[in-house]
Structure 1
């Protein structure tokens, strides 16, 4: 009995212990914010049903939102290095709360377009600041675990928030906007009160700030291309996959059941494996994860039933769990301390760009499901190979930045 009681705390400590209190304030704020993420999953329904927009107008609104997101990460990354991590994160969350309410109360198409563009600018602007905070607070060996725990909080909060949002929307969409706005304010206040400013001053002779410095770093640019490949593969989950499964004869309910496996696996496995993965070579682990994701999506070409879809979801989710947190840790290892925000901003830009490019692959379904899913699989494998090729240079840079 005594041995067991001693083992449990040790096990828990290995998974969630040893990280500083400000990190847990950041983690808690992230969880609260994602618990309140109720608007975006239902935006299409809100625009067409509550505001009566046509499908074409709703598509234009979402395109404007995507344009805002595309430049958001680059701007937020620079602000993170210039005005500080805490100010950028808290400020972006307060701006998101205002934009959410503005969108909720907008009734005309021009007002909706303006609100959605602003929302695209600010809704994920916290990410470079959050990433830089983790890099500032956590030792390199523990960063994959820390980033993995943040990824876990995002997925857990999003799953609960989306479910609650579906029920709450029945009482009126405006409730969703208010809950989302309040969660943003809570996140902003929590970070402002419990997280110290960690922005380091540049060392003498260090390059200045700004995106131009990052773009002159060939290794970061090359890794950003690798990240773009990873993001293109993953983005199929919310772009082409629902359409393809509908064409394969699966109902929305069957698709929802299969996708639930993704959330369950992440919530159960992510905290258990993040520490173990952190002790492995990060670039090779990342490449392995992307390769597994590519194989999982390639197998989707053969899906004709819910069980088969669940099997493929399990495969690419395992790859997703491996990559979660590691890419951000690699970016942190590449960046000079005073430019971590700008580097994280370029990393986020790759994900935003993938979100806009991924839907353009949908026409491949007109050729055949195999054409689409084998293309996605090849992208995953090429991306994995690119990660392996960059591994020696990334290891050298990481070792240099740690000294």
Structure 2
């Protein structure tokens, strides 16, 4: 991997050390500001709504302003908003800073992913995004322990730790990564006549990925945003979620070599994704039945193994779909799935927990995973393989030509 990729992975790992504060936002609102679970869910949903324009702005800024500048801007903004939440003395102030946090929270994701895609070839993207996932998980191991310790003391300190990690990441990226120039080709394409403009929202292959990504993001966010409250419903400590996050991160890091095993590497994309979704569903069914911390640990290992199989291929496929001068915008559109899920997850999670309990929450999420798994082979069989025409008449020549467009196909990006 190029040096710039390793430096970015180190910076994001440092940022991840403090990145579990949002998992405790609903708990902080409930315990420190006297709000009920439904109100806490509404605040978390407001944060989620704000992340949608943030993600889209991050993609456009990545292609216009430059990758490094956009990452630094997003990280610095997150730090200021996190400090505001920690210092807030009223529910109104928490809501204001939570929305501000949402507006800057996703700025750095598209340029981070685009920077990786810029640095490696198409056949190395699965490996590169897998390493990004592993780096975030490695940081998550320390973050889970930090959340467990600080959460038992005062939840506000989680937001302070997150702010400090964001600032440190911004400083590191600004200091060690080379400055990149805005994509002039992308600007020329945007200013060109309509028939040559790149329009990600008209790319049906990308929209198919967005649909599947939204379903999975809804499930994934329940394991972070709703887990502390679900533990409290079972009579366990909400701060024990930090320990489970650490177990999840350890599983993802230690299981990386398994991706290179011959049998797993030979799986087609639909089969690999179906297996991943199935494992996540099995782990969530384990949560539904678990009433002790050891049982929750075992369930966490199972769903984390599935998460490992899903994420790297999904991002590599979206990157491969994008014209080379629109990678940031394509990743931003796909990333809207997380914004939509960030709105829906706290609303659904808190309502289900309040009215039906944790068993119903985890069972319903497991059922959604099984539905996603069942759809993968059908999608792969329904769409014919072969080159995909560029959206809106963009010329398909050059390094991006001849890409497979199957939402569930096994193209060059899956060979890793």
**In which range does the TM-score fall when normalised by the shorter chain?**
0.7 to 0.9
Residues 9-48 of structure 1 mapped to structure 2, 5 A cutoff: 19-37=1-19, 39-44=21-26, 46-47=28-29
> Would you say the 8 A contact 1:61–1:116 is kept in 2?
yes
1:320 to 295, 301, 307: 307
Q: TM-score, normalised by structure 1?
A: 0.79
> Would you say the 8 A contact 1:133–1:198 is kept in 2?
no
* Secondary structure of 1:336's aligned partner: coil
Bigger shift: residues 66-75 or 40-49: 40-49
* Secondary structure of 1:338's aligned partner: coil
Distance change (3 Å), C-alpha of 1:250 and 1:124 = same
* Secondary structure of 1:337's aligned partner: coil
1:378 to 367, 371, 383: 367
Shift of 1:149: 1.5
Distance change (3 Å), C-alpha of 1:84 and 1:40 = same
The residue aligned with 2:394 is none
1:134 to 105, 108, 116: 116
Shift of 1:137: 0.8
Bigger shift: residues 310-319 or 176-185: 176-185
Counterparts of 2:126 and 2:342, CA distance in 1: 24
Shift of 1:26: 0.6
Shift of 1:108: 4.4
Shift of 1:29: 0.7
Bigger shift: residues 386-395 or 73-82: 386-395
Distance change (3 Å), C-alpha of 1:257 and 1:291 = same
1:400 to 368, 379, 402: 402
The residue aligned with 2:79 is 97
Give the unaligned 5+ runs of structure 2.
Answer: 389-399, 405-411
The residue aligned with 2:326 is 339
2:35 to 44, 54, 59: 54
* Alpha-carbon displacement from aligned partner over 1:309-365 (angstroms, at most 9, x marks no partner): 444333222211111322111110111112211211122211222233234266567
Q: TM-score, normalised by structure 2?
A: 0.77
Shift of 1:297: 2.5
Counterparts of 1:347 and 1:237, CA distance in 2: 20
* Secondary structure of 1:135's aligned partner: helix
Shift of 1:290: 1.5
Matched, 1:387 2:365: no
Matched, 1:273 2:258: yes
Counterparts of 2:221 and 2:280, CA distance in 1: 11
> Would you say the 8 A contact 2:48–2:339 is kept in 1?
yes
> Would you say the 8 A contact 1:86–1:191 is kept in 2?
yes
Distance change (3 Å), C-alpha of 1:170 and 1:235 = closer
Bigger shift: residues 392-401 or 111-120: 392-401
The residue aligned with 1:222 is 208
* Secondary structure of 1:36's aligned partner: coil
1:188 to 170, 175, 190: 170
* Secondary structure of 1:317's aligned partner: helix
* Alpha-carbon displacement from aligned partner over 1:268-300 (angstroms, at most 9, x marks no partner): 213x23455667544542232123222332454
Distance change (3 Å), C-alpha of 1:329 and 1:166 = same
Shift of 1:139: 1.3
Shift of 1:94: 1.7
* Secondary structure of 1:54's aligned partner: coil
Q: Which has the higher helix share?
A: 1
Shift of 1:34: 1.2
Matched residue count? 380
Distance change (3 Å), C-alpha of 1:143 and 1:275 = farther
Counterparts of 2:319 and 2:200, CA distance in 1: 13
> Would you say the 8 A contact 2:152–2:239 is kept in 1?
no
The residue aligned with 2:397 is none
